[in-house]
Amino acid sequence: MGKPTGFMEFDREPVHARPPLERIKDWSERHPPYADETLRRQGARCMDCGVPFCHTGQLIAGMASGCPINNLIPEWNDLVYRGQWQEAIIRLHKTNNFPEFTGRVCPAPCEGSCTLAINAPPVTIKSIECEIIDRAWASGWVKPQPPLARTGKRIAVVGSGPAGLAAAAQLNKAGHMVTVFERADRIGGLLMYGIPNMKLDKRVVERRVRLMADEGVRFITSTEVGKDLPASRLTSDYDAAVICSGATAARDLKIEGRHLQGIHLAMEFLHANTKSLLDSSHEDGRFISARGKHVIVIGGGDTGTDCVGTAVRHGAKSVVQLEIMPRPPDERAPDNPWPQWPKVYKLDYGQEEAKALWGADPRQYAVQTKRFIGDEQGRVKELRVSTLDWLRAEGGKPLGPREEEGTERTLPADLILLALGFVGPERALPAELGLKLDERGNVWTDANKMTSEPGVFAAGDCSRGQSLVVWAIQEGRRAARGVDAYLMYGESVLP
């Protein structure tokens, strides 16, 4: 694929981004464009490697290796190299309903398992994917494609995040009548309110939702199933239902002082910020402001990074991010070989922006939070922490953490954001439907994504647990195939 010697001739092109001190002045995701020749050269770096691990989509050591939706990466890399952009978007849409989402927010496990990454920088798969779909939209190649015939079957999808949208798109293609219920006031789920605008512009989400509506999908907002609409209606009024309600039960930090004002779950902070931005450009003041405050983000991952980037744009006085795990190595450790996801140190956009402002990565590693300290008005003012020593046995086997003596200290804190991940789906809806849960508290499903209740399916984080957007799309597509086969006597036209 690509040019046979391209990987030897061309270097990896760095991601095109505006300077950090420029981009923190607004909420735009704009970035400098790529020249056509630059992208063709990047596509040319895709090797004729024989076995393209980039689209294997398997779990190794608990982490994704390769693309979970099995994108035909070498094929569209080759087409980009040859300048055949319209053919490239056809290939991309065969496996991915929403490449404009994954091309922006996916951590790119495909690049981690790129064969070139064994001893060189991988192909810029994510940048090429995003450019393919953006060019397709700009060129008018992405048009509504409603099904030629309808089956007469009615399906309800609960939740409009990436899993719900993927399931709805696929089921609509199969000719079923699909209604998507969303409890928020806008469609998109975590794509709309969980990911900040500078990372995923909401016009990108709304554009795809309009296309799906033009194709025949019905969207109903501000309707919580189980509260505004009885859950029993899913089985009485529809031939099948797909639960894609996400894993929205956040992990809390129950330590001394948790009751103090100024301590918030990360999603409270991010959701309110984006809603206020979209509703009034922050004029309504209905968001948790970090302006002029000492901000501490507890937890890492994408959510922690988004909290850092958002606090920086608010005008925080300082931002510190605490991670309980030790700092990752600069290069792959011996126990983290290719094609596993590379667990190495990197600066994401939020940390890069904080470093540009204050001169250092805001993260402090191997830190244990001990208690919150408040003032006389009941507001948090400090956080007591200590340093952990992560012990290993002689052979390298992890033994767990131990608090280092004499490391206890106090950090100033006016606003503390808990980005500790999620423990699973909210229990009310599964309980009302009588759905069986697995040992982790997620909705149990069989191989076809059907729950313990016949005709009720589940997909995405509510059944898989907290995961990536690309896994949610894969789950939604898989559930759609299961629904189609259930309704159409054991056979499905869906991939």
Nearest to 473 by CA among 53, 37, 99: 99
Does 495 map to a domain?
no
Q: Would you say how long the chain is, in residues?
A: 495
Does 243 map to a domain?
yes
The confidence score (pLDDT) of residue 399 equals 84
The confidence score (pLDDT) of residue 60 equals 93
Q: Are residues 227 and 244 in the same domain?
A: yes
| 75 vs 28: CA distance, rounded Å | 31
Q: Are residues 192 and 270 in the same domain?
A: no
Q: Are residues 37 and 164 in the same domain?
A: no
Please state the rounded mean pLDDT for residues 124-138. Answer: 97
Q: Mark which of 376, 392, 420 sits at the end of a domain.
A: 420
CA 133: distance to chain centroid?
18
Task: Residue 195: give the domain boundaries.
Answer: 154-249+423-487
pLDDT tens per residue across span 306-363: 999 999 999 999 999 999 999 999 999 998 999 999 999 999 999 999 999 999 999 9
Q: Are residues 413 and 429 in the same domain?
A: no
Does 336 map to a domain?
yes
Please state the rounded mean pLDDT for residues 162-171. Answer: 98
Could you please report the per-residue DSSP string of 240-263? EEEE-----EE-----BTTTSBTE
Q: In the predicted model, is pLDDT for residue 426 greater than 90?
A: yes
CATH (domain of 362): 3.50.50.60
Does 492 map to a domain?
no
- Model confidence at 47, pLDDT cuts 50, 70, 90, reads confident
pLDDT tens per residue across span 362-421: 999 999 999 999 999 999 999 999 999 999 888 778 888 999 999 999 999 999 999 999
The confidence score (pLDDT) of residue 1 equals 61
Does 205 map to a domain?
yes
| 284 vs 276: CA distance, rounded Å | 7
Using DSSP, state whether 323 is helix, strand or coil: coil
Q: How many CB atoms lie within 10 A of CB 283?
A: 9
| 321 vs 294: CA distance, rounded Å | 11
Q: Are residues 296 and 406 in the same domain?
A: yes
36-44 vs 125-138: helix axis angle to the nearest 10? 140
Residue 88 makes CB contacts below 8 A (sequence gap 6+) with 76, 79, 80, 132
Does 470 map to a domain?
yes
The confidence score (pLDDT) of residue 212 equals 98
Q: In the predicted model, is pLDDT for residue 157 greater than 80?
A: yes
| 474 vs 492: CA distance, rounded Å | 16
pLDDT tens per residue across span 218-232: 999 999 999 999 999
The confidence score (pLDDT) of residue 490 equals 95
| 118 vs 296: CA distance, rounded Å | 37
Does 353 map to a domain?
yes
- Model confidence at 3, pLDDT cuts 50, 70, 90, reads confident
Q: Are residues 377 and 429 in the same domain?
A: no
Please state the rounded mean pLDDT for residues 202-215. Answer: 98
Q: Are residues 56 and 119 in the same domain?
A: yes
Please state the rounded mean pLDDT for residues 452-468. Answer: 97
Contact 448, 431 (CB under 8 A): no
- Model confidence at 8, pLDDT cuts 50, 70, 90, reads very high
Q: Are residues 390 and 286 in the same domain?
A: yes
Q: Are residues 104 and 162 in the same domain?
A: no
The residue assigned the tokens 């596509």 is 43
Q: Are residues 416 and 438 in the same domain?
A: no
- Model confidence at 176, pLDDT cuts 50, 70, 90, reads very high
Q: Are residues 257 and 361 in the same domain?
A: yes
Strand 380-392 and strand 318-322: the pairing is unpaired
Please state the rounded mean pLDDT for residues 105-115. Answer: 96
Please give the model's pTM, rounded to 2 decimal places.
0.96
Q: In the predicted model, is pLDDT for residue 273 greater than 70?
A: yes
Q: Mark which of 138, 166, 189 sits at the end of a domain.
A: 138
Residue 249 makes CB contacts below 8 A (sequence gap 6+) with 422, 423, 424, 425, 426, 427
- Provide the domain count of the chain: 3
Does 172 map to a domain?
yes
- Indicate if the alpha-carbon torsion angle 270, 276, 278, 281 is positive or negative: negative
The confidence score (pLDDT) of residue 484 equals 98
Q: Are residues 427 and 416 in the same domain?
A: no
How much of the chain, in percent, has pLDDT values that exceed 70?
Answer: 100
Q: How far apart are the first and last CA of the chain?
A: 24
Please state the rounded mean pLDDT for residues 444-456. Answer: 98
CATH (domain of 128): 1.10.1060.10
Q: In the predicted model, is pLDDT for residue 448 greater than 80?
A: yes
Cα 215 to Cα 11, 142, 172, 211, 419: the distances in Å are 42, 12, 8, 6, 37
The confidence score (pLDDT) of residue 392 equals 84
E strand or H helix at 421, and its extent? none
